[in-house]
Amino acid sequence: MAIEIEMKSNKEVSKFENDLMNRSKSKEYSRRYKRKDFRKDYPKSVFFFVKDKGKIVAFGAFRKLVLEFRGKDYNILGICNILSIERGKGYGKILIAAMIEYMKKTNKTGLGFCAKKRTVFYKKAGLSVKKEFIRRVVYKNPKGKLEPETDADGVYYEGKDKLITRMLSGKSIAYTDLKDW
């Protein structure tokens, strides 16, 4: 296999890559998926593209994310938009391995959420998993109203800030002002 990993900032994502991500996510999630302009809607993000012989076969991203926890702000990476276009060939694991390597190099905590049926994949790919962890992170909208989510497992890599350990050591909630990550 001639596998390569390409990393790009949101500003470097081409129209072709943006359209490919939207088509692929729309195919995967059908009517529930809302088209995005990843170049504009995901500021300060890093995108990962797994390519086999030059063809994109998997992609994912990190969004810059601030979580407020016990009165302190933590700058972490929101793991998002993970999708293997071709399944069963190990591309998803290659993608996650590259993303874990990035988190190790930057010493950053990465946190994302997924449907319960996908948790096994993330664990096998090398991320840690906490069931129903989404209940511990609440979106605070611009009007100050809290909007908790209720049905997703957390997938994460813990960086030097030890945020996940702190979150799991009690029952406190973390807050974010980023709804779609």
Q: How would DSSP label each residue in 144-157? A: S-EEE--S-EEEEE
**What per-residue confidence (pLDDT) applies to 120?**
93
Cβ neighbour number for residue 118 with a 10 Å cutoff:
16
pLDDT digits (tens, 9 = 90+) for 128-157: 999 989 888 888 766 666 665 667 899 999
Dihedral sign of CA atoms 22, 25, 31, 32 in order: negative
Q: Kindly state the percentage of the chain with pLDDT values over 90.
A: 71
Whether 181 is in a domain gets the answer no
Q: Does the pTM of the predicted model rise above 0.85? A: yes
**Domain carrying residue 93:** 3-176
What CATH number has the domain bearing residue 90? 3.40.630.30
**What per-residue confidence (pLDDT) applies to 149?**
64
Whether 72 is in a domain gets the answer yes
181 has a pLDDT exceeding 60: no
pLDDT digits (tens, 9 = 90+) for 1-20: 589 999 999 999 999 999 99
**What's the pLDDT band for 177 if we cut at 50, 70, 90?**
confident
Domains contained in the chain, number: 1
